[in-house]
Amino acid sequence: MPMNKKFILVLQLLLFLSIYTFGQTIQNSVVGSTGASASAGTIKMDYTLGEVVIETFSAGGQTLTQGFHQTALHLVAIENTDYFPEINIYPNPSSDLVNIDIPANYNSLDISLYDVTGKLIRIFSNASGKVTLDAAVLATGTYYLQMINTTNDKVKTFKLIKN
């Protein structure tokens, strides 16, 4: 065997052994500034402070909340639903007045205006007919109009852009 082929074979063998010897393994781990782990029998619990994902489970009168606990959490989301297809919001985007046309068959709606952080800006209770929102007092940005039908609790969120 020529010298170059032996050299390449030895180099490949050393490369394989170095990868096999020093290879990394994947393990479940949590990186956090503070927290702890505890176990009892087959049950293990790990926690950290300041987790950004939270979820609550309830069963048999017991409640487990993962992550941090907020007592007054209001979620704002855009849903892809066909609720309120006849409602018109115009002009959008707007820099002045925004009109919301609510057909008569909706009785009354509760309309909430939120900014992008989820902060409640304004509420229109029992809105019906034509509602006018003065967008001139709002800062430039994106807002969300959440409409709730008070008779059947149907919810839809509309995106509103203020120029």
What is the average pLDDT across 78-105? 84
Cα–Cα dist 158/148, whole Å: 11
Residues of the chain with CATH 2.60.40.3580: 88-162
DSSP string, 82-102: -SSTT-EEESSSBSSEEEEEE
Question: Residue 124: pLDDT above 70?
Answer: yes
Share above pLDDT 70 across residues of the chain, in percent, rounded to a whole number: 69
| The two structure tokens encoding residue 43 | 């049950």
Higher pLDDT, 107 or 162: 162
CB-based contacts of 121: which residues, under 8 Å, 6+ apart?
113, 114, 115, 138, 143
| Strands, E assignment, the chain | 35-40, 43-48, 55-59, 62-66, 88-90, 97-102, 109-115, 120-127, 129-134, 141-149, 155-162
Lowest-pLDDT range, 82-86, 90-94, 132-136, 158-162?
Answer: 82-86
Higher pLDDT, 80 or 123: 123
Question: Residue 27: pLDDT above 60?
Answer: no
Higher pLDDT, 32 or 141: 141
Cα–Cα dist 79/131, whole Å: 22
Predicted confidence at residue 50, as pLDDT, reads: 60
- The mean of the pLDDT values for the chain is 78
The reply to whether the predicted model has a pTM over 0.75 is no
Cα–Cα dist 126/103, whole Å: 13
Pick the CATH number of 88-162 from 3.40.50.410, 2.60.40.3580, 3.40.1010.10, 3.40.718.10: 2.60.40.3580
Q: Given pLDDT bands bounded at 50, 70 and 90, which one contains residue 69?
A: very low
Q: Given pLDDT bands bounded at 50, 70 and 90, which one contains residue 63?
A: low
Cα–Cα dist 118/68, whole Å: 18
SS3 10: helix
Question: Residue 51: pLDDT above 60?
Answer: no
